[in-house]
Structures are given as structure tokens and as C-alpha cells.
Amino acid sequence: MHALDRSRDAIFVERLHAKTMARGLNWALTEHEGRYQVHVGEFIIEIGEGGDAEHADPEILICKPDGRALEVLTPDILPEAPGAGLSRREIFAQTYEGARRIALRVDSILDNLIQNLL
């Protein structure tokens, strides 16, 4: 049996992380608490807490335009990048936190509050 090549998955997660950290994606709320989504091309990317209660790491879902999941990615299924500065868990956690802040407009709210506290 051959091992599954997850290199494309890893590249996708790294690019999603970089684009989210650069505030280059318009993450939005979903109908589910703690889950956020963004449209990328014709697909929907969703990030949220994993389904396992003991497993607190975020998971990333790649969904078809109709919302049906194609793939679920977690830090556990991706190999660590050799010489990388951040672990896969840190990348998933930072992407989740960035998506949350963008979807909830946290930075705009903070800017407003700072301005009103002058």
C-alpha cells in the first residue's frame, strides 16, 4: 500500500494561511457558531473547530459550490515541513484566528473603540 501524498494539501494550507494573515481573504460568518467561510474561485473554504470534542485543533473543509464537503484537512494528516518556522498546528490555529477576526470585523471594531477613547 502506498502512502497518500499530502504535499498539495500542505501547499494549499500554507497559501490559505499566508493570504489570511495578509488580510487578503474576505472571511464571513456561517450559520454555525465558531465556523467561518470564504469563497475561493468556485469553491467554498470553511474553517472551524474539529468534530472531535477532545480534538481542539481547527479543521479546514474544501466544499463544492453547493456546500457539500470534498475534503477535510487537519494538522494531524499533514506532514511537518522540514525547517519550517511554524508547526502545522500553529498554522491552523493562526488561520482560524485570522478568519475569526476578519469575519467578525474585530479590527474595525477596535479601531472604532480606540478612536472613541481619545
In a domain, 95, yes or no: yes
Helix (H) or strand (E) holding 82: none
C-alpha 46/C-alpha 63 separation (Å) is 8
Flag the least confident range among 2-11, 28-37, 44-53. Answer: 2-11
- The strand pairing partners of 71, in sequence order, are 62
Instruction: Report, as an integer, the average pLDDT of 51-69.
Output: 84
pTM of the predicted model as reported, rounded to 2 decimal places: 0.86
Q: What type of residue sits at position 28? A: A
Report whether 58 contacts 92 (CB < 8 A): yes
Domain count, the chain: 1
The boundaries of the domain holding residue 99 are 7-116
In a domain, 33, yes or no: yes
Give per-residue pLDDT as tens, 66-102.
989 999 999 988 877 666 678 899 999 999 999 999 9
- In the DSSP assignment, the letter for residue 31 is S
